Structure 1
Amino acid sequence: MSEQTDSSREGRTPLPVISATTTTREEAPARPPSIAARIRAMGEARIGAILLLIATIIAIVWANASSGSYSEFWETHLSIGLGDIQLDFTLHALVNDALMAIFFFTVGLEVRREFAIGELTSWSRALIPVAAALAGLVVPAALFLLIAQGSGYEHAWGVVISTDTAFLVGALALIGPRASGRLRIFLLALAVVDDIGALSIIALFYTADFTPLPLLVAAVGLAGIYFARYLRRGRGPVYGTLAIIVWLAFLASGVHPTLAGVAIALLVPVYRPNRRDVEQALELTRTFRQSPNSEYARLAVNSLRESISINERLQNAYAPYVAYVILPLFALANAGVQLSPEILASALRSPITWAIVVGLVAGKFLGVFGSTWLMRVFRIGEFGPGLTLDRIAGGAALCGIGFTISLFIVDLAIEDEMAQNEARVGVLAASVIAFAFGAILFRISDARRPDDDGGRTLARPIDPLRDHVFGDADAPLTIVEYGDYQCPFCLKASGSIEEVRRELGDRLLYVWRHAPLERVHPNALAGAEAAEAAGMQGKFAEYARSLFTDQEHQLPSDIIRRARDLGLDVDRFEEDLRSPIVTNRVRDDMLDAEAMDVTSVPTFFVNGVRHTGPFDAQTLIRALEESAPAGVDGGEERR
């Protein structure tokens, strides 16, 4: 039988399979991407990385089987124009200048989101990946300059600064450790800062023939994009038209036109769903269900769409095209390096090849891992459970995969065809070595984890300043529960916990942590975040109790009604609901649950050890007594 069946037999609600699609229904309030959605995205990134790899292999085979046809194809000219206005591109330039602008647009959207509502909203939380990313920019560049000194290509140091996010996430999904949620979030935050650095360097150091006047036109277009958010209708065509104008202005100015994509993305609105917008969407959906017609359908669809920020809608719309079309096309157009014995021999002797290999493989590893090691030694920043140095080492090794932007800068920084071939050999070799290096480090890490007991013991120690604790912080007996406010078994367990607390009194410390089952209970995550928002006004326990009291009514209007009934400042409550502090606290508990392989709720950790079996009061008391720490006997302290 499946694990879910076993869990249900014990009277627990099983957690959904983590890679499954999170189901939703019309009553579910809109919210930021969930943990399950992020991990599902890892599977999509893995497919994208595989397509990128296939395109790279095809390009290499094509270039070596028929180098003439490969270069001739990508040098084919394409003219676009109207009257006397003509744009002439090669297919290679069309991919690198136009299609890659869409790629950098999606990168800009991610940067904007992370700084507005994501990992980089809190400086203390972002400190570790930001410092690691900056070190990962500086150290590779320094090593490149050291090795390439005197070669005449020192200016190509930008080739080694950037990590390929698509390959990084795909490689982590293929060879990374189990329960790598925290590592993946760390690497994604690092990659965002890395991308900002790479884009800035392209703008500052790899822009030629600069003409400032067209940038004034671009500035006007960007201003129009910013104010287009206030249009009630027709924003799509306005955004599209202005984006083309801005891109053409960047092209005319000499600044690489791909940076237009970033500039546009940074002006696209991003926000958390507003409760009133969600409620309006739900009301229109109910109206359509009661009286189905095309007008109500259109209004309901528009309302649902408008409740999600433009940033998130554009990311979801463009992500498949970028991963499955644009990046593979880029690889096909740029990875076609000839690997003849003469070229390989030349690359082996070339300082630029070795500068790239050492810069990406050793430089990225030393920069990322070295900086995090120093922060761990000096206790700077917060390392969550599962984000250990051995796992960071594997992730740091994978940061040496610099494929996309590295090849992109090769084309910008190096004009000589032979030197370009040597540089591309270096990029490809470094990416393969970094992948293998990361795989080896992850295997060593897994082999050296005798303490990894599959989640049998509590991963994150109880912290009275962080956790929701009930009882004396110095109590000798502890119960930590991972639960869900819509779970009927958690409701039943709450009665057992009350009885245990009455029986043991101040000898027991009870802790609640969140593990909402989004697939089974679509409103559970919203309930967890609402309890956290109430906790910011000192009413966590009261709000949690109200959620258990009425598990069937946890819609956005119910969430606000409960806050009002409990005497909370509703305006502050609504603001806190959109706060990244609230989101991150719930997400941290969910990542802890993932790291410990918590697959059903309620899950209890009794005196730090996972409890299996029934969770009635007498069973829990007996488990507490049997696992009591030294010096405690039968729930009574020895004197």
Structure 2
Amino acid sequence: MKLTKTFKAFFESEKSGGLLLLFVTIVSMLLANSSFQTEYIAFWGTEIGNHSITHWINDGLMAIFFLLIGLELEREMYQGELSSIKNAALPIFGAFGGMIVPAGIFLLLNFGTITQNGAGIPMATDIAFAIGILSLLGNRVPTSLKVFLTALAVIDDLGAILVIAIFYTDTIAYLNLFIAFAIMGGLFILNRRKVHSLIPYLIGGAAMWYFMLNSGVHATITGVLLAFVIPFGDGGKKTSSYRLQHFLHYPVAFFILPLFAIANTCIAINSDWHEGLNHPNTIGIMLGLVVGKPLGIWLFSFLAVSLGIGTLPRDLKWSTILGAGMLGGIGFTMSIFITLLAFKNDGEEVITYSKIAILVASFIAGTIGFLWLKFNLKPAKAKKQSKKV
């Protein structure tokens, strides 16, 4: 099993970052339901320029997160697990299943209602949280399972980006969109002319973000687009892609994602909070993440292997693929992100109940996934002893 050094660094940072996300989420929710509730919630709504602090985090800093996702996806396509069609087919098919089935379950309950726009919510996977939970299993986890879950989550997030671009864009200012893509074209020319300095790409990326923001298309998409015009070269330590990816690991894991989690989980929970979980929207979110995710990932992965398109790594069983699918149901930050876009015109109540449903579903998915894998994976020592016998 091929595991790039950059992937190892990515996995380690996301592992620790996932545990930090859990901590800051608990702190944020405690503050939002304490005597500081009014001041705390008002702080995140404070306007800087024309937008609130939360808006700047969601539209600005999250673009950097998606830049890292794009760089990681590019590396895996050139050098890692996605470089071979046979190897790539398993997480690609799994990711498609993990998007289609949850969205289908949600639409069965919400089609034709005002909440049908939320179909994208259970499609997403929170990489940091999923890897953080997986890391708690220590040496039980085979390398191929780490790669499968990470590749699955990265492709999942790419799918979420496409969903955002296609379904959650209201009106498009085509001139601004044209300018953004023209800048991208200019950066691509620099790439082909072997300009390796990061400065023009970062300046161009900032300009792309500005015009994308003002085009009506969600600005975070700029991150992924920029990743694919930054020179990859041979993928070595001196290349622009490697240097930027290596630099971004820790700021994203320990600053950007925790800040996003804090800003978007300051949820004031009333005594009747559970009543909102009976709505088709919240039921669809929870069933999509807890049931749809593992079912879709397992079924489509099995389909890929059955058709001979993909292969199941030797150190994985179908039960561990199902466990990875359960962890894929941890939507958390990505699902909340899509919630804010899907229901931005539908009032605060539907957003709040959707967030609660996401938190409940992510907790259930993470707990079940952890226990399932702990039961099905043997510790490294036990594996060695069983081989000797």
Above 0.5 in TM-score? yes
Shift of 1:457: 6.5
Per-residue CA deviation, residues 47-100 of structure 1 (Å, 9 max, x unaligned), is: 101111122112211222243223311111112xxxxxxxx2211111001111
Q: Is the partner of 1:210 in helix, strand or coil?
A: coil
* Structure 2 residue runs without a partner (length 5+): none
Instruction: Tell me the percent identity.
Output: 34
Alignment of 1:380-529 (within 5 A): 381-414=310-343, 415-446=346-377, 453-456=382-385
- In 2, Cα distance between equivalents of 1:223 and 1:215: 12
2:341 matched to 1:371?
Answer: no
* Structure 1 residue runs without a partner (length 5+): 1-30, 80-87, 275-306, 459-608, 611-639
Shift of 1:108: 1.1
2:329 matched to 1:359?
Answer: no
What letter corresponds to residue 347 of structure 2 in structure 1? D
Which structure dedicates a bigger proportion of its chain to helix?
A: 2
Tell me if structure 1 keeps the 8 A contact 2:177–2:215.
Answer: yes
- In 1, Cα distance between equivalents of 2:348 and 2:61: 23
Per-residue CA deviation, residues 314-333 of structure 1 (Å, 9 max, x unaligned), is: 11011110000000000011
Q: Is the partner of 1:384 in helix, strand or coil?
A: coil
* Residue from 141, 166, 169 that aligns with 2:131: 169
* Residue from 86, 91, 94 that aligns with 1:132: 94
- In 2, Cα distance between equivalents of 1:379 and 1:394: 22
Residue 100 of structure 1 corresponds to which residue in structure 2? 62
What letter corresponds to residue 271 of structure 2 in structure 1? P
What letter corresponds to residue 270 of structure 1 in structure 2? F
Residue 244 of structure 1 corresponds to which residue in structure 2? 206
Tell me if structure 1 keeps the 8 A contact 2:115–2:281.
Answer: yes
Tell me if structure 2 keeps the 8 A contact 1:177–1:442.
Answer: no
Per-residue CA deviation, residues 289-321 of structure 1 (Å, 9 max, x unaligned), is: xxxxxxxxxxxxxxxxxx632111111011110
Larger Cα-atom Rg: 1
Residue 118 of structure 1 corresponds to which residue in structure 2? 80
Residue 501 of structure 1 corresponds to which residue in structure 2? none
Residue 196 of structure 1 corresponds to which residue in structure 2? 158
What letter corresponds to residue 418 of structure 1 in structure 2? E
Alignment of 1:132-281 (within 5 A): 132-149=94-111, 151-175=113-137, 178-229=140-191, 235-272=197-234
What letter corresponds to residue 383 of structure 1 in structure 2? L
2:59 matched to 1:90?
Answer: no
Shift of 1:400: 0.2
- In 2, Cα distance between equivalents of 1:234 and 1:135: 38
Residue 4 of structure 2 corresponds to which residue in structure 1? 33
- In 2, Cα distance between equivalents of 1:381 and 1:253: 39
Residue 567 of structure 1 corresponds to which residue in structure 2? none
Shift of 1:102: 0.6
Shift of 1:228: 3.0
Tell me if structure 1 keeps the 8 A contact 2:7–2:72.
Answer: no
Shift of 1:355: 0.9
Q: Is the partner of 1:454 in helix, strand or coil?
A: helix
Shift of 1:432: 0.2
Q: Does 1 or 2 have the higher relative contact order (CA < 8 Å, sep 6+)?
A: 2
Shift of 1:368: 0.8
Per-residue CA deviation, residues 526-560 of structure 1 (Å, 9 max, x unaligned), is: xxxxxxxxxxxxxxxxxxxxxxxxxxxxxxxxxxx
What letter corresponds to residue 252 of structure 2 in structure 1? V
- In 1, Cα distance between equivalents of 2:210 and 2:307: 49
Per-residue CA deviation, residues 237-287 of structure 1 (Å, 9 max, x unaligned), is: 32222111111110111111111111111111213257xxxxxxxxxxxxx
Shift of 1:176: 6.1
Shift of 1:114: 1.8
- In 2, Cα distance between equivalents of 1:232 and 1:216: 24
Shift of 1:381: 2.4
Which structure dedicates a bigger proportion of its chain to strand?
A: 1
Per-residue CA deviation, residues 160-193 of structure 1 (Å, 9 max, x unaligned), is: 1011111111111013661421101111221222
Shift of 1:376: 5.0
Residue 254 of structure 2 corresponds to which residue in structure 1? 324
What letter corresponds to residue 239 of structure 2 in structure 1? S
Q: Is the partner of 2:296 in helix, strand or coil?
A: helix
Shift of 1:41: 4.6
Pairwise CA RMSD: 2.5
Residue 77 of structure 1 corresponds to which residue in structure 2? 47
Per-residue CA deviation, residues 18-73 of structure 1 (Å, 9 max, x unaligned), is: xxxxxxxxxxxxx9834xx6446533322101111122112211222243223311
Under a length normalisation based on structure 2, what TM-score does the superposition of the two structures give?
A: 0.91
Shift of 1:380: 5.1
